[in-house]
Amino acid sequence: MQAINQGKEFRSQVGRKSQGIFTLNSNRPPVVEMIKAGDHDRLPELLPIRYQRMGASPFAFYRGTAGIMAYDLSFLPRTDIKVQAIGDCHLMNFGGFATPERTLVFDANDFDETLPASWEWDVKRLATSFVLAARHNHCKEYTAKEIAFIFAQSYRRHMIEFSKISALELWYTKFDVESIFQKSKSNEFRQMLSDVIDRSKKQTSGKILYKITKKVSGNFEITDQPPLIYHSADVHDKDAMRLFIENYSKTLSDDRRWLLEQFQLVDIALKVTGVGSVGTRCYVALLMNKSQEPLFLQIKEATASVLEKYTAKSIYSHSGQRVVEGQRLVQAASDIFLGWGTGADGRQYYFRQLRDKKIAPLVEEFDPELLTAYARLCGRMLARAHAKTGNAAQIAGYMGKSEMMDDAFSDFAVAYADQTEKDFSEFKKSMSQ
C-alpha cells in the first residue's frame, strides 16, 4: 500500500490531465536541422535510402525520429518514476521470436535506444504510433484515437494486475503466441496469429542461407544486392573480423561460447535495415560448422541512446553492452547469441542472431479490428516490461482505476501525431528543394 500511496502523491506534482497536453518548446530547432544532427557519422552513401524511407509517410517518418520525440518529451511534465525504457517504443518494434526453448513469444525486439527513463515516455511514443498507424491505414479519426485509448487502458489495467504479483512470478511471465491465440476473442486476430505461427515455422537458417547467399568455387558467399546488401571495404580483412567475433564471444556465457566456437566465419557483408538505423553500420555474418550448417549473426553499430541527453549517461561505457543488458532486462527471454564487442574501427557493436524465427506483424495492413487487438497486446506487454524493471505499484497508484490516464494518453497521442505530420511536411518540403 505504501508504494501505491507514493504513486498517488505524484499526482500533486504532475497532474494526470497534464499528461495529455503537448506543447512545442519555443526554442525547438528546425526539424531538418535535428535530423541532420542525428545523421552525424552515418555512412553518407546510405543517407539517401534513409531519407527515402522516412519520406514514405508520416508513420515511416516517425520511426526514424526517436531523437526528435525525446527532445520534445524532455520539456513536458513527467513523474520521473524510472523504468528500463525501450526508448524507440513504436508498434513496429514488437513482434514474435523464438526463445532458447524454441517457444514462439511476443515481446519488444528493438533496443537500440534503451535506457532507464520515465515510464511515460515509452507509453506516449507507443500510443502516438498507434494513431499514426491508424491514419496510415485509412481508419477514421475517432477510431485512431480510440485505438490509442484502448492501448493506454490495457497498459493501465495490466500495470495494476502486475503490481500485485511477486517479483519472481513477474520475471517468469511470458506471452507465448500459442496462448495468445487460444485466449483471443477476435477471429481476425486469431487468423493473423495463425499466419505468424506458420511463417515462423518456415523461418530457418537453412532457408535464409539459400535466400541471401550463392556458391562461389564450392563455398557459400553472401550475395551482393546493392545498395541494401554489399561487401564494404571495411570487412575484407577476414583475420580482423575473426578477432572481432572472438572478442565478442567473451561476452557470452561459457556454454554459449562453446556453441559459437563450433562455427567458423565464412563471409560478412553490410546490410541496410529498418528506418532509424539506416546509415549506421550494420553487418550480417555467415558462419558454418563442420556439417555445413549455417549460423547468421547480425552485427549492429551501437551509439549513445537518444535519451541520454535528457536523462543520465548510461552506466555502461560500451554502448553495445547498454543495448544487450537493457534487452535482457526487458525481454522475458533473449537470444542466446546476444552479446557485444568493439570492431577494429574502434566502433561499438552488439550481436544477435539474424531472423531466428523473428516475425514482424504486417501492421501497415491491419484494419481497425486488428489494430485494436494489437493495441491491447502491446499495452499488456509494455506494462510487464515496466513492472519488471520499475516500481509497478507506484506507477499503478499514480494512474489509478479511473480512465483519466487513458484519456490523457490518447489526447497526447493525437496531438503528437498532428505534430509529426507537420514535421513530416517540413521534411518533405526540404528534401524536394
Q: Which portions of the chain are predicted below pLDDT 70?
A: 98-102, 177-178, 181-183, 196-197, 199-210, 355-359
Count up the domains in the chain and report the number.
2
Contact 301, 321 (CB under 8 A): no
Enter the pTM of the model: 0.93
Q: What pLDDT is stored for residue 201 in this prediction?
A: 63
Contact 148, 131 (CB under 8 A): yes
Asked if residue 152 and residue 35 are part of one domain, the reply reads: yes
Asked if residue 59 and residue 47 are part of one domain, the reply reads: yes
Q: What pLDDT is stored for residue 259 in this prediction?
A: 96
Asked if residue 94 and residue 59 are part of one domain, the reply reads: yes
With b meaning 16 or more CB within 10 Å and e meaning fewer, what string describes 327-356?
bebbbbbbbbbbbbbebeeebbbbbbbbbb
How far the first Cα of the chain sits from its last, in Å, is 59
| Residues 172, 177, 179: CA angle, nearest 5 degrees | 75
Q: What pLDDT is stored for residue 173 in this prediction?
A: 81
Out of 353, 376, 407, pick the residue that ends a domain: 353
Q: Which three cell numbers stand for residue 11?
A: 499526482
**Using N-to-C axis directions, what is the helix angle for 2-9 and 392-399, rounded to 10°?**
50
Give the integer Cα–Cα distance in Å for 266 and 212.
14
Domain of residue 190: give its range. Answer: 2-202+360-431
Q: Which three cell numbers stand for residue 313?
A: 549517461
Q: Where are the beta strands (DSSP E) in 81-120?
A: 82-85, 94-98, 104-108, 115-118
Asked if residue 289 and residue 269 are part of one domain, the reply reads: yes
- The distance of Cα 31 from the centroid of its chain, to the nearest Å, equals 22
Asked if residue 256 and residue 210 are part of one domain, the reply reads: yes
Give the integer Cα–Cα distance in Å for 227 and 306.
27
